[in-house]
Amino acid sequence: MQEASLVLNKYEEDFDNLSSISPEWSSNLRNKAMDTFREIGFPVRRKGNEKWKYTNARPIADIEYSSAKFEEIDLDDIKLIAPWHESWINLLFVNGHYQETFPGNLPTNVQISNMASNDLAANLTSNVGGIMDYSDDGFAALNTAFMSDGPIITVPEGENAGIVVNLIFFNQGLSDTVNYPRVLITTEGNSIVSVIENYVGGSSDRTFTNSVSEIYVGENATVNHYRLMDETDDTHDVGYGRVRIDTNGTFNSRSFFRGSGIGRYDLNVSVEGENASCDLQGLYFTNGHQHMDNFINIDHVRPNGQSNLFYKGILAGRSRAVFGGTVLVRKEAQKTDSIQSDKNLILSPHAEVDSKPALFIYADDVKCAHGATAGNIDADTVFYMRSRGIDLEAASRLIIYGFAGEVIDKVEIPELRSYLAESFLTSLPSHKFEF
């Protein structure tokens, strides 16, 4: 209890220091969030805590983290570890703090603002915290309480020039530090934008990244959202995505995770408009003693909505993965078409996956299905490849990569797709499927 008090006291101290320099527009929101955190704390209680049933938050909660300070990083170092293209709008944040924007070659009306500004217009700040309910989650409350910097991206009506915004959140890896990235994306009617969120860096020292992204998809708008997590075994990463889709809007999500001691992504998509749709696909690779938890929820509110939830995992070593996928179809959401699937390739007898897809359907005219699989490769597949002169290790590697490629191939940005193909190929372990 004494250690817990010391940890909480450290957060209180850092909060007081931040309050003196934080932008005035955020003060009320931040104070309310801190009050909530004081009341509920971290989700460390195991009994009855369904959201965190398969992930122990204690290793994060027990560390006395200090807020990370900004230290400028050389751009060449960033380009070695994160996707980058000169045609994109590239924004760099170090330890949660803005460093620089590198504009792409495309003319754009996309507005990009910084949350650290004290003179932001009311229409830019009004949506901050609008769909991130932190009332029952201490990590989300803590992010909101310490929110001090991050991009506000506004895509005006009719903007469809194929803009790519690349957000790089670099963790410098300073021992026992925490950073709090915050993202707000708002798209107006008939607009299209692609946004890449990169969480990279870390070191052999313990660090914590606690991030929140809020995304508003306007009427007839399309948001293509990519989230990449590639940190270290000593990094703890808890991320939240909250999405609201208006009439005829489309939200496409592609998530890729291949590095974190404890990683968790909590994505909640509200399909609020009629004829709105979302396509959520993800790929996670765990090795050693890594732990990855995907907690994905889709809420169908209005009729004629569509959703596809498709995640794949590759597990090696003594790693563990968790997949919780829930689709809620409300009574008013007739004619909903929804499918969810989680498939896992387990390369080690010591690896473990807990997969729990679920459907809650209150409408009577819907088309919904779900499923989950976990296992090894069929022996006939390996035999066929070996009969064609491919050695066992090469055949095994091709099968593993083919399993991952089904998600990577869905990436519509060619430069990003090439980056992911190369990074996953080089990180896959040596393996031989033997029967």
Higher confidence at residue 126 or residue 161?
Answer: 126
What average pLDDT does this structure show over 347-376?
91
Domain boundaries, the chain: 1-260, 269-375, 380-435
Rg (C-alpha) for the chain, rounded Å, is: 21
Whole-number Å distance between alpha carbons of 169 and 1: 34
Q: Is the pLDDT of residue 123 over 90?
A: no
Percent pLDDT > 70 in the chain is 96
In this predicted structure, the answer to whether residue 65 has a pLDDT above a threshold of 90 is: yes
The residue ranking higher by pLDDT, 10 or 310, is 310
Q: pTM to 2 decimals?
A: 0.94
Q: Find the range with the poorest average confidence among 158-167, 188-197, 345-354, 424-433.
A: 424-433
Q: How far apart are CA 255 and CA 264, in angstroms?
A: 12
Average the pLDDT over 369-387 and give the result. 79
Mean local confidence (pLDDT), 1-27? 80
**Whole-angstrom distance, CA of residue 52 vs CA of residue 44:** 8
Check whether 3 has a pLDDT greater than 60. Answer: no
- Cα(101)–Cα(168) distance, integer angstroms: 10
pLDDT tens digits, one per residue of 253-303:
999 998 789 999 999 999 999 999 999 999 999 999 999 999 999 999 999
CB 332 within 8 A of CB 301: yes
- Distance between CA atoms of residues 357 and 297, nearest Å: 10
At residue 107, the pLDDT reads 62
CA distance linking residue 246 with residue 123, whole number of Å: 18
Say if residues 135 and 164 touch (Cβ distance below 8 Å). no
User: pLDDT at position 210, please?
Assistant: 97
Query: Is the separation of the CB atoms in 370 and 327 below 8 Å?
Result: yes
As beta bridge partners, residue 225 has 195, 253
Predicted local distance difference test score (pLDDT) of residue 432:
60
The pLDDT confidence band at residue 435, using thresholds 50, 70 and 90, is very low
